[in-house]
Structure formats: structure tokens, C-alpha cells
Amino acid sequence: MLSAFNPQPTLHGPTLSLRALTEADREPLFSAASDPAIWAGHPAKDRHIRTVFDPYFDTLLASKSTLSVTHKGTGGMIGCSRYYTAPNAPDSISIGYTFLTRPYWGGDTNHQMKALMLAHAFEHVDRVWLHIDPTNIRSQRATAKLGATLTEEGPLTLGGKQGIWQSWCLSRADWQKAINARLN
């Protein structure tokens, strides 16, 4: 990760707060992750099971770049997302390892969360990468709405596991265009 970049900032939006993931978040995040339908579009489809979730949480915590996502209205933890460096973009910032609880699908929540994270990242880089499982259509649609472009699909090692991933790139200029289009 870039040396001047803080991968665990505290970020606030109209309805969301993002902050560094801590050990105290294990139970609230497990509660958020306990719905099997959340993981249907993810490569690891069984993260709703405690014995699978705990090692996943340990990895997120050890990364020191994961942000918990809390809804301001309810005060409840509704998911998480993470900054990371991908092998195909070592001098850039990537955003991923994201999940949200189902009540927050299809609305403004993912956009607001990513907007906060992107604004922070674009203070340091001109491009941000997002990597998506080719079967995760919901994430692909949400990423396209951000203004990102699919650049390639192929083998990539993420989180210590090799798989086939889609690599999406979002430039600062394309992000600004997407924001302007959303405002008009």
C-alpha cells in the first residue's frame, strides 16, 4: 500500500459511518454476515457459517485496511469493505472484500460507501481498482454505476487464493463524470 495512504480512515456520509475494523466488531459483523443469501454471489459461499467466518474475519482484521460499515439511523453494523493492493496494480489502490446486509442492497448504500472510500483514495492516486468474481452480477452492475470500466478477466491471486477475477478500473476523471451524471 502507498506509504502516505491511511487504509483505515474514519469516514462519514449522510447515513453511513466507516471506521477501522476492530476485534470488538467480530460479533456484530458475524451477525451481519449470517445471511446465506449475502454470499450467493461471492466466491466463498459459506461465510455465514461460524467456522468459515472466523478465519475470514481474522484475515480482514490482520489486513489493517478493513473498514466496518455502520448505518447511522440504526447504529447497526451492516457490512464492511477494504482497501488493498492487487498484484496487477501494485502502485495503485484497490477496493473490495465488500459485503452489505440485504436490506441495504439496491439503493444508495453501496454507492455512498464507495463514494466515501473513493474520495479518500483519489486524494492519493488517479486510478482505483475493483476486482469481482465473474459470477457476481450484482457487484458488476454496482461497479459499472460508479463509472468503472471492465479492463480484463483472468487469473489473479487475491487474499492468498488464485482465481479468475474481473479487473475493473475507475479513474478520477470517470468518477467525476459519474458524480456529475448522478447530480443531473
Mean pLDDT score across all residues of the chain = 93
pLDDT at 40: 84
- With a cut of 80, say whether residue 68 has pLDDT above it: yes
> pLDDT tens digits for 128-153?
999 998 988 889 999 999 999 999 99
Q: How confident is the model at residue 7 (pLDDT cuts 50, 70, 90)?
A: very high
Per domain, the residue ranges of the chain are 11-183
- Cβ atoms 154, 164 nearer than 8 A: yes
| pTM attached to this predicted model | 0.94
pLDDT, average across residues 146-166:
90
Exposed (0-12), middle (13-18) or buried (19+): which is 19, by Cβ within 10 Å? Answer: middle
Give the chain's radius of gyration (CA, Å): 15
Nearest CA-CA partner of 166 in 112, 105, 94: 94
Instruction: Please name the fold of domain 11-183.
Output: Aminopeptidase (3.40.630)
pLDDT, average across residues 89-118:
93
- Cβ atoms 110, 142 nearer than 8 A: yes
Query: What are the CA-CA distances from residue 139 to residues 104, 114, 124, 133, 148 (Å)?
Result: 13, 12, 24, 9, 12
